[in-house]
């Protein structure tokens, strides 16, 4: 008889369950859409619309875009209370944080 994931998790200690959940949250945070990020921060499209002086449907269209200006992305992230940082990664070299593009300031 096989166990479901929920059954297996319940059989673990609380510390182990918390450790697994923390790691899962870290992995999820590494790759999120703008919508996922907004939902994780418990913000609505209306919340962001108010902050960005846009209607809800404009926020929806923005979240579904595959390409946007860095300045637009920066405003969206700031509206959620975050800071956008642009980093370039190269093989055999440390990452480089890029400054001076659009409105990105650290």
Q: What pLDDT does residue 73 have?
A: 92
DSSP codes joined into one string, 28-47: HHHS--HHHHHHHTT--HHH
Q: What pLDDT does residue 106 have?
A: 45
Q: Are 17 and 9 contacting, i.e. CB atoms less than 8 angstroms apart?
A: yes
Which residues neighbour 35 within 8 Å (Cβ) at sequence distance 6 or greater?
A: 63, 64
Q: What pLDDT does residue 1 have?
A: 65
Mean pLDDT of 83-92: 91
Beta bridge partners of 86: 98
Q: What pLDDT does residue 2 have?
A: 78
Domains of the chain, start order: 12-98 (1.10.260.40)
Q: What tens digit of pLDDT does each residue of 17-72 get? A: 999 888 887 776 677 889 988 998 899 999 999 999 999 999 999 999 989 999 89
Q: Are 99 and 85 contacting, i.e. CB atoms less than 8 angstroms apart?
A: no
């Amino acid at each position: 008889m096989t166990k479901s994931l929920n059954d297996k998790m319940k059989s673990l200690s609380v510390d182990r369950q918390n450790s697994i959940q923390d790691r899962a949250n870290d992995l999820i945070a590494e790759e999120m859409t703008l919508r996922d990020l907004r939902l994780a921060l418990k913000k609505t499209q209306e919340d962001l619309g108010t902050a960005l002086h846009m209607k809800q449907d404009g926020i929806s269209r923005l979240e579904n875009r595959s390409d946007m200006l860095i300045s637009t992305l920066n405003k969206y992230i700031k509206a959620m209370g975050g800071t956008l940082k642009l980093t370039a990664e190269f093989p055999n070299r440390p990452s480089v944080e890029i400054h001076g593009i659009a409105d990105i300031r650290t």
